[in-house]
Amino acid sequence: MDRVALRGLKARGHHGVFPREREEGQTFIVDLVLGLDTRPAAADDDLAKTVHYGVVAEEVVDVVQGEPVDLIETLAERIAQQCLKHAGVQEVEVVVHKPDAPITVPFDDVTITITRSRA
C-alpha cells in the first residue's frame, strides 16, 4: 500500500472536558498518513484516481473546528472516519496533537495516534 502524508494541519477547536477549553478553544495539530494504491493515478496522471489531499486537509480542519467533544480520542476517530469516506483510501493513521493541554507540569505535547482501515 502506498502512503500519502499530511503533517501539521492546524485548526482551532473547542474540545476538552474543562469549561475553559470549551469556551476559549485551543490549537490542535493533526498528522495524517493515508494508505491507498496510487498506481492507477500514476499510470494515467489522473487526480481523479487518487485522493485529493487538499480536499482531505480542508475536511479535517472542518472536523477540528466543528462540534466539540470531550476527548481527543473521539476527535481522532471522527477525523479517521472522514478520511475513510474517500473511495481510494483503504487505511488512515491519525495523530492528534494537543500542545496546549491543561497540564500543570512542563510538557511538550500530548498526542493520540489511531489507525483505522476499511473493514
The 3 state secondary structure assigned to the chain is CEEEEEEEEEEEECCCCCHHHHHHCEEEEEEEEEEECCHHHHHHCCHHHCCCHHHHHHHHHHHHHCCCCCCHHHHHHHHHHHHCCCCCCCEEEEEEECCCCCCCCCCCCCEEEEEEECC
In the chain, pLDDT over 70 holds for what percent of residues? Answer: 100
pLDDT of residue 116: 98
pLDDT of residue 49: 95
Burial class (CB in 10 A: 0-12, 13-18, 19+), 97: buried
Q: Residue 119 pLDDT > 90, yes or no?
A: no
The model carries a pTM of: 0.95
Residues annotated as part of the active site: 98
Q: Residue 84 pLDDT > 80, yes or no?
A: yes
Pick the CATH number of 2-117 from 3.30.1130.10, 3.90.550.10, 3.40.50.2300, 3.40.50.300: 3.30.1130.10
What pLDDT band is residue 21 in, cutting at 50, 70 and 90? very high
Number of Cβ atoms within 10 Å of the Cβ of 81: 13
Q: Residue 12 pLDDT > 90, yes or no?
A: yes
Contact yes or no for 84/116 (Cβ under 8 A): yes
In the chain, pLDDT over 90 holds for what percent of residues? Answer: 98
What pLDDT band is residue 53 in, cutting at 50, 70 and 90? very high
| Average per-residue pLDDT for the chain | 97
Q: Residue 4 pLDDT > 90, yes or no?
A: yes
What pLDDT band is residue 77 in, cutting at 50, 70 and 90? very high
